[in-house]
Amino acid sequence: MATTDMPRTAVIEDAPAISHTLARAFDDDPMMCWFFPEEASREATLGRYFSTLFTRQYLLNGVCERTDAAAAFWVPADAQEKAVPDAETIQELIGILGDRAGLFKEAVETAAAHAPQEPHWSLALIGADPVAQGTGQGAALLRSGLAKADAAGQATYLESSKAANLPVYEHFGFTVREEFALPGGGPVLWGMWRDPR
C-alpha cells in the first residue's frame, strides 16, 4: 500500500478533501438519496453536509482518519454522549437539509432508539471515492478503527442503509444485529455488531 493510502489522523485543513470524498462516496447511498433527493445538487449538498459533521461534530469528539481517497469517523465509547450536534450545528444542518430536516430528525431519533445500550465504539461513517473503491483504502481505515476498539476491549457498532455493503462488514467480523425501516417511507437500516478481538 502506498504511503498516501495509509490511514492518518484527519485535521481541520482536510475538511474540503474529506467532504468531497464522502460526497462522492455516498452519492448512491439509499439514506443520503432519501435525505437529498435532488440528483443534480446532491454532490454539492452532501459536501456541505459532511463538512459540517466533520468540522463541528466528529473532529471534536471522535476519531477521524483519512487516506487520499477515503475517510472514516469513529466515536469511542466514552465520547458517545458528547459526539452529538450542538444547537448551532443543528441549525446549520437544518439549513442544508431544507424541507427534509423533519425526516432527518425522525431518522436520527429512530436510529438512536435502536442503538445498543452496552458500551461500544460506533463507526459513524466510512466511505471511499468511487474511483478508489477496491484499492484497499476503505479497508485500511476499517482495520485501523477496529484495532483501536479492540485495544480498548470494546465492541463496535455501525448502521448501513446499503445492502451491498453488508458482506464487506461481515468480512471484518460484523454480524447483523437488527434490521429496521426509517419512518416516513425511509430506507431500511441494518444495525451491525462486532465483538472485540
Length of the chain: 197
| Of the candidates 86, 73, 66, the residue with the CA atom closest to the CA atom of residue 132 | 66
What are the structural domain ranges in the chain?
3-154
pLDDT at residue 2 in the model: 53
Per-residue model confidence as pLDDT tens digits over 115-124: 999 999 999 9
Per-residue model confidence as pLDDT tens digits over 89-137: 999 999 999 999 999 999 999 999 999 999 999 999 999 999 998 899 9
- Distance between CA atoms of residues 64 and 109, nearest Å: 23
Classified by CATH at the fold level, domain 3-154 comes out as Aminopeptidase (3.40.630)
Percentage of the chain surpassing pLDDT 90? 90
Per-residue model confidence as pLDDT tens digits over 164-189: 999 999 999 999 999 999 998 999 99
Residue 59 has pLDDT above 90, yes or no: yes
Work out the mean pLDDT of the chain and round it to a whole number: 94
Give the global pTM.
Answer: 0.93
Q: How confident is the model at residue 87 (pLDDT cuts 50, 70, 90)?
A: confident
- Distance between CA atoms of residues 194 and 155, nearest Å: 6
pLDDT at residue 4 in the model: 64
Percentage of the chain surpassing pLDDT 70? 98
Residue 60 has pLDDT above 80, yes or no: yes
pLDDT at residue 58 in the model: 94
| Of the candidates 63, 68, 59, 71, the residue with the CA atom closest to the CA atom of residue 148 | 63
- Distance between CA atoms of residues 12 and 30, nearest Å: 28
